[in-house]
Amino acid sequence: MDLSYQAIEAPVFPISLGFRGQALKLRFVTSNLDGRFLSPAVSLRKVMEKFTRRFTVTMPKPILHSAHIGESLSLVYSPYYVDDIPYDAILNEPLPGNLPKDFKIDALPGGKPEKSIHFLPTLCPHCGWDLTGERDSLVLHCRNCDSAWMEGTQSFQKIRFGHIPDGTDNVMFMPFWRIKADISGLELRSYADLVKIANLPKVIQKGWESTGFRFWAPAFKVRPNTFLRILKNMTISQPREPIDESLPRGNVTSVNLPLQEALETIKINLTTFIRPKQRIEKQLETIQVNPVSYVLVYVPFTEKHHDYTHAAFHVAINKNQLRLSTNL
């Protein structure tokens, strides 16, 4: 979906951009642009609530939980001018409808745009080497000192990472967030707890009580149905191979789903494997998720003709889906 909603409270202007956001060329707002830019007055939270209500009105009730995963939020300015009456500057036509008698464009807060683009030099803060990454990547790598960095507040922050080694050549390393979290009301601290709570067809083995449980979430965007399947299968599989705390030397898929979005998947993840389902339905609203730690793990997937697969984790990712996911 590609949606828009008015960020000011002025009924004289259209409530939505319609298809303009997709059909017309956009450019960044810079401080040297002419015109008066009206200040946003409606919060993003309120806008997201409006979208949620719009698309859940026909769903069965009650809705126990909802989350927006991987959304991209932008503030887009559309041009208008006033010549006795407001005009659409793109169509050069007056806006439809009757203008309120008390409407005064100068009464709306606004002014010259502030500097909105900030640049960070992509140099490793540790050793000064060039950082590498794809255009959409949220994590950049330093091949010189074997480190990974994520943008913080006007600076880069070092993150914990590693990869599961693989000796074969035709592999693609897919990034995953591995998250340790405390879940209120559920005993889910070990692999033995997972076997019980998910009713897996396994006999609990010695040592499973001391094997820690972790949530796994893709650190890359992919279509919703595929995303949910990967989310469940990776968490149920609980990869236990030793992790090499270095960058993989093979091909790597870029990280374009941030950690905060991965944290929002935890409640959804619980609903995919807890059995019986009635149990989680009763508890979902009251469950509290407390993240404790995380690490970015690159998992090797074997490259096939059409897919990247991992037989042990029962996961296959279509290449075309992965390629088109950059538009999500």
The mean pLDDT value for 130-145 works out to 94
30 & 89 share domain: yes
At 66 the pLDDT is 86
To the nearest whole percent, how much of the chain has pLDDT over 90?
59
Residue ending a domain, among 85, 111, 137, is: 111
**Residue 116: predicted pLDDT:** 67
Q: Return the exposure string of 75-100: e unless at least 16 CB atoms fall within 10 Å of the residue's CB, then b.
A: eeebebeeeeebbbeeeeeeeeeeee
200 shares its domain with 87: no
Residues in contact with 171: Cβ distance below 8 Å, sequence separation at least 6, in sequence order? 250, 251, 300, 301, 302, 303
Q: Write the Ramachandran bin of 268: left for phi over 0, alpha for psi from -120 to 50, otherwise beta.
A: alpha
Instruction: List pLDDT tens digits, range 155-176.
Output: 999 999 999 998 788 899 999 9
Q: How many CB atoms lie within 10 A of CB 102?
A: 6
**Residue 132 is assigned to a structural domain of this protein:** no
Flag whether 4 is in a domain: no
Taking each helix axis from N to C end, the angle separating 266-273 and 224-237, rounded to the nearest 10 degrees, works out to 70
* 225 and 85 within one domain: no
Please report whether residue 280 resides in a domain.
Answer: yes
Lowest model confidence (mean pLDDT) among 18-22, 303-307, 323-327: 323-327
Parallel, antiparallel or unpaired: strands 215-218 and 156-158? unpaired
pLDDT tens figures, 18-69: 999 889 999 888 888 889 999 999 988 898 888 888 888 888 888 888 888 9
Number of domains in the chain: 2
Cis before 94? omega within 30: no
Query: Final residue of a domain: which of 72, 88, 111?
Result: 111
Same domain, 203 and 303: yes
Q: Verify that 167 and 273 share a domain, yes or no.
A: yes
| 255 shares a domain with 174 | yes
- Specify whether 198 is located in the same domain as 311: yes
Alpha helices in 34-162, H assignment, sequence order: 44-56
Judgement on whether residues 164 and 260 belong to the same structural domain of the protein: yes
User: Does residue 307 sit within a domain?
Assistant: yes
The answer to whether residue 165 sits within a structural domain is: yes
Question: 100 and 182 share a domain?
Answer: no
- Any residues with CB less than 8 A from the CB of 124 and at least 6 apart, and which? 130, 131, 142, 144, 145, 147, 149
Q: Are residues 100 and 175 in the same domain?
A: no
- DSSP symbol at 57: T
Strand intervals (E) in 28-109: 37-38, 80-83, 85-88, 93-94
Same domain, 222 and 281: yes
Residue 234 lies in a domain: yes
Both 97 and 197 in one domain: the answer is no
Task: List phi, psi (to 5°) of 226.
Answer: -65, -40
In a domain, 2, yes or no: no
Which tokens is 232 given? 């469940």
Cβ atoms 64, 284 nearer than 8 A: yes
Least confidently predicted of 129-138, 223-232, 248-257, 273-282: 273-282
pLDDT in tens, 187-234: 999 999 999 999 999 999 999 999 999 999 999 999 999 999 999 999
176 assigned to some structural domain: yes
Q: Determine the structural domain holding residue 97 and report its residue range.
A: 20-111
3-state secondary structure of 79: coil
